[in-house]
A and B are shown apart, each in its own frame.
Chain A
């Protein structure tokens, strides 16, 4: 089961499920991190966290702990 935090820069995947609850989940959903969306990892910050991804036409920063809730297809 791959999750978003396991991808390396330039790798991409399609979101199958968004785990987690409450505010974090809702905020991610509003920002377009929802099932069916394609995400590409662009880079990690100098200290290894957070990470920057490309999703639904814009750039989003999230921490690895949030990315671990994003399950990818395949």
Chain B
């Protein structure tokens, strides 16, 4: 049987870099059964031997409170029946920050599994003048300690050797508890274990001793809740009695645990580490003197955000033109092969135009996810939380919500999933419910099309910014501006209660790792293309079919008769061609109006009239409720089918500019464009996000709530936008 090892460590210790260096490109990702904690496994090749390595989420302690931490504790204690038992542990520790890292290690030792310590970030420790005698450390811990430098790929030969030794069973037998806990605490754990052993049938498993300790120590923690749910009040009384007996000297149990562990850590460090006194100011601290400075820090934060938005808008332009050109060429190329009729229309108007108009936004999505991964990887995200905490505090949230919120600007799905790191349930749920208001990358296509077509390229702010960029920034701000009162109301009503704490590590700044960043950007891009290739493709074909059928023979006959009439009228060749072309367009328009989609659109049009929309915009919007980026494809299909040859080869932007009401007035103007953007900014048009919310919250009523409030806000917001901007803007 294959050996499975677990890779664990505190957050920000370079665990991912160690994982990548050990497993190369073999990583597979998914989720743990029944929860959305991501499960990453890879293969370590050691000559003939293959080792399965599980990359567990970063955690500071086995005292589990969040879903991520529960998974780490359960996997390490072999309490997940669907996972292969872990036969050893590789702990990544930050050499420049050993004290707190060894706290977690002291808990891992108690699992009584063989382990290896990968002492990462030796270069930073060196620079700070911290000297580590890793042999002495190894001696004290009773396990191999291997210095590595993950981003330089140094020390991995030795680490592989240690892994092979672990696999072959050559390591020293693991020691039992190393920490000097008070007698009373050990006795209390023993007693609690005895009581729990008599309830194996009710609990469904034998609880391992390290978990018993967690049940005892973590008041109100996950381990306690899990057994209390099974055993009820009687056990609750036993637990309270054991807790009272466990403490000495009036400390609380967690304080007693921390004291014993830090005493042990202190003992270990005194034998193996020397630190300069006074400590050296680190490079991170000097950078932070600027980046979290009261004035410069704030200016820098705003500047970063501006650069991100300006670049998404302007840098991606040339690449998009290239993609646009290629899609047009592909459509024409395929079109010339196929005979006129259903098949040609399906392929050119449906598939190529639809999927192509979504794919065109890939450059921007890649750019945005590149920025977010860079900010995450270099350590700036924690600074952003530091700067933003008070601001978010006004709507009842914490700086911790900032990261899920910011991630939601790329996509609400990882954003909602990132909310798992928020310990407080009420904060987590509030964040999850407002995260979809952040303008995700799928909204970008709508903004780009509408801004590109209808917002003039006026320079503002001394020429540094253009009006389109400012409107784009406003659209992104709208979600935030609405999220504040929504979160505030949620925290005052459904989720009211005491304010949870903010306790956050500020990791050292580091150069972002090309490979880590690349992987994240790649995954984002791949997910987007997959969506474009599956869901969006399917919806595109359905929308095309609804717009194509039925083809009434009456219309065909009537137009055929008109054509014959024109041909016999004796017009000049040029005038004849123009007239025939006009007839073609009218015929296409007639077909569309009589199609299933056209009739549906007309029925619902009155609902959307107050927003200045016609039935085509309304239909495209309804069709994009499963995934909002579909709007672009649907608009492409709907407007292209009635257009003439020349316009068909032009972009969607021109098609929209030329679209009219039946009486010939232009359909789109700035108020209409703005109302469309506002609607899309606020509406919950994403099936995948709603499903993710259900998975993260466990109940359908939360996605139902998110969907209802967002759709209502979008409808009202779009009407207000259209009516107000029609009054303000001259000539609109």
- Asked if B505 and A63 make an inter-chain contact with CB atoms under 8 angstroms apart, the answer reads no
**Least Cβ–Cβ distance between A30 and chain B, in angstroms:** 4
Q: Which residue of B lies closest to A53 (CB)?
A: B506
Query: B100, A22: Cβ atoms under 8 Å?
Result: no
Q: Could you tell me the distance between the alpha carbons of A63 and B508 in the complex, rounded to whole angstroms?
A: 20
Among A23, A47, A52, A63, contact of B506 (Cβ-Cβ < 8 Å): A52
Contact present for A31 and B219 (CB under 8 Å)? no
Contact B504 A24 (CB under 8 A): no
In the complex, A49 has a CB within 8 A of chain B: yes
B residues near A37, Cβ cutoff 8 Å: 262
> In the bound complex, how far is the Cα of B314 from the Cα of A52, in angstroms?
37
The answer to whether A27 touches B423, judged by C-beta atoms less than 8 angstroms apart, is yes
Q: Are the CB atoms of B99 and A35 closer together than 8 Å?
A: no
The answer to whether B390 and A48 have CB atoms under 8 Å apart is yes
Which among A25, A32, A43, A66 is the interface contact of B292 at CB below 8 angstroms?
A: A43
As a 0/1 sequence over residues 607 to 633 of chain B, the CB contacts with chain A under 8 angstroms (1 = contact) are: 000000000000000000000000000
A-binding segment of B33-41, B305-313, B380-388, B466-474: B380-388
Q: Are A46 and B501 in contact (CB under 8 A)?
A: no
Establish whether residues B219 and A22, one from each chain, have CB atoms under 8 Å apart when the complex forms.
Answer: yes
A32 near B387 with CB under 8 A, answer no
A65 to B259, CA, bound (A): 23
Task: List which A30-74 residues lie within 8 A (CB) of chain B.
Answer: 30-32, 34-37, 42-43, 45-50, 52, 56-63, 65-66
Q: Which of B59-67, B133-141, B229-237, B532-540 has 4 or more CB atoms under 8 Å from chain A?
A: B59-67
User: Which one of A29, A31, A45, A46 lies within 8 Å of B505 (CB-CB)?
Assistant: A31
Q: Decide if A49 touches B390 in the complex (CB within 8 Å).
A: yes
List of A residues within 8 angstroms of B494 by Cβ: none
Tell yes or no: A28 within 8 A of B by CB. yes
Q: Which residue of B lies closest to A47 (CB)?
A: B390
**B253-278 interface code vs A (CB 8 A; 1 in, 0 out):** 01101110010000000000001000
* A1 on the B face (CB < 8 A): no
B252 in contact (CB, < 8 A): yes
Q: Could you tell me if B98 and A61 are in contact, using CB atoms closer than 8 angstroms?
A: no
Contact assessment for A30 and B220 in the assembled complex, using a CB-CB cutoff below 8 Å: no
Q: Which residues of A contact B704 (CB under 8 A)?
A: none
State in angstroms the CA–CA spacing of A25 and B389 once bound together.
Answer: 20
Q: Contact at A30–B423, with CB atoms within 8 Å?
A: no
Q: Which residues of B contact A36 (CB under 8 A)?
A: 262
Give bound CA distance, A49 to B687, whole Å.
38
| Assembled-state Cα–Cα distance A31/B279 (Å) | 19
Partner of A50 from B390, B424, B507 at Cβ < 8 Å: B390
Determine if A56 and B387 form an interchain contact, defined as CB atoms under 8 angstroms apart.
no
* Given A45-B387, A50-B390, A56-B99; A63-B502 close (CB under 8 Å): yes
Which B484-518 residues have C-beta < 8 A from chain A? 499-508
| With A30-B61, A42-B285 as contacts: A23 and B385 at CB distance below 8 Å | no
List A contacts of B220 (CB < 8 A).
22-23
> Which A residues touch B298, using CB under 8 A?
46
Q: With a CB–CB cut-off of 8 A, which chain A residues contact B503? A: 24, 27-28, 31, 60-62, 66
Q: Is the interface of A mostly helix, strand, loop or mixed?
A: mixed
**Residue of chain A at shortest CB distance from B262:** A34
Chain B, 268-310, contact with A by CB distance < 8 Å: what is the 0/1 string? 0000000100010000110010001111011000000000000
Which of A21, A26, A52 has the most CB atoms of chain B within a 10 A radius of its CB?
A26
A18 at the interface (CB under 8 A from B): yes
Q: How far apart sit A18 and B424, CA to CA, in the bound complex (Å)? A: 21
Complex CA gap A29/B254 in Å reads 8
In the complex, how many angstroms separate the beta carbon of A14 from the nearest chain B beta carbon?
Answer: 13
Least distance between B293 CB and chain A CB atoms (Å): 8
Of B100, B298, B387, B423, which is in contact with the most chain A CB atoms at under 10 Å from its CB?
B100
Chain A residues whose C-beta falls within 8 Å of the C-beta of B642 in the assembled complex = none
Please tell me if B391 contacts chain A, counting CB pairs below 8 Å. Answer: yes
**In the complex, A70 Cα to B252 Cα: how many Å?**
15
Complex alpha-carbon distance, A14 and B720, angstroms: 58
A26 to B253, CA, bound (A): 9
Q: Assess whether B96 is interfacial by the CB under 8 Å rule.
A: yes
| Interface pair A60/B505, CB less than 8 Å apart | yes
Contact A21 B506 (CB under 8 A): no
* Contact residue among A26, A32, A52, A65 (Cβ-Cβ distance under 8 Å from B218): A26
In the bound complex, how far is the Cα of B301 from the Cα of A25, in angstroms? 31
Residue of B nearest to A62 (CB): B503
Closest to B423 in A: A23
* Residue B477 is within 8 A (CB to CB) of chain A in the complex: no
User: How far is it, in angstroms, between the C-alpha of A23 and the C-alpha of B254 when the chains are bound?
Assistant: 10
Q: Does B399 contact A (CB under 8 A)?
A: yes
Chain B nearest CB, measured from A62 CB (Å): 5
CB distance from A72 to the nearest CB of B (A): 16
Chain B residues whose CB sits within 8 angstroms of the CB of A56 once the complex forms? 97, 99-100
For B365-394 the 0/1 string (1 means CB < 8 A from A) is: 000000000000000001001110111010
In the assembled complex, the Cα of A65 lies from the Cα of B210 at a distance in Å of 33
Known contacts A22-B219, A32-B103, A42-B285: does B387 contact A58 (CB below 8 Å)?
A: no
Q: How far is the CA of A35 from the CA of B258 in the complex (A)?
A: 9
Closest chain B residue to A24 by CB distance? B501
**Contact status A59-B284, CB under 8 Å:** yes
Are B285 and A58 closer than 8 Å at their CB atoms?
A: no
Contact with A52, one of B219, B386, B390 (Cβ below 8 angstroms): B386
**Complex CA distance for A37 and B100, rounded to whole angstroms:** 11
| Interchain CA distance A56-B500 in the complex, whole Å | 24
* Shortest Cβ gap from B177 to chain A (Å): 18
Point out the residues of chain B lying under 8 angstroms from A47, CB to CB: 390-391
The reply to whether B389 and A60 form a contact with Cβ atoms under 8 Å apart is no
Contact partners of A22 in chain B: CB under 8 A? 219-220
A28–B169 alpha-carbon span in the complex (Å): 38
Given A46-B298, A56-B99, A57-B97, the answer on whether A30 and B63 have CB atoms closer than 8 Å is yes
Instruction: Annotate B70-107 by CB proximity to A: 1 below 8 A, 0 otherwise.
Output: 00000000000000000000000000111110010000
Q: How far is the CA of A61 from the CA of B284 in the complex (A)?
A: 14
Since A45-B387, A61-B502, A62-B501 are in contact, a sample of 15 more A-B pairs with Cβ atoms closer than 8 Å, ordered by chain A residue number, is A18-B255, A23-B424, A28-B501, A28-B503, A31-B100, A31-B503, A46-B298, A47-B390, A47-B391, A57-B99, A58-B100, A59-B505, A61-B382, A61-B385, A61-B399
**15 sample A-B contacts, Cβ–Cβ < 8 Å, listed by A number:** A23-B500, A24-B501, A25-B255, A26-B254, A29-B257, A37-B262, A47-B391, A52-B506, A57-B96, A57-B275, A58-B97, A59-B285, A61-B504, A63-B501, A66-B502
B residues with a Cβ closer than 8 A to A are 60-61, 63, 65, 96-100, 103, 218-221, 252, 254-255, 257-259, 262, 275, 279, 284-285, 288, 292-295, 297-298, 382, 385-387, 389-391, 393, 399, 423-424, 499-508
A-B residue pairs, 5 tightest by C-beta: A47-B390, A29-B258, A59-B506, A56-B99, A26-B254
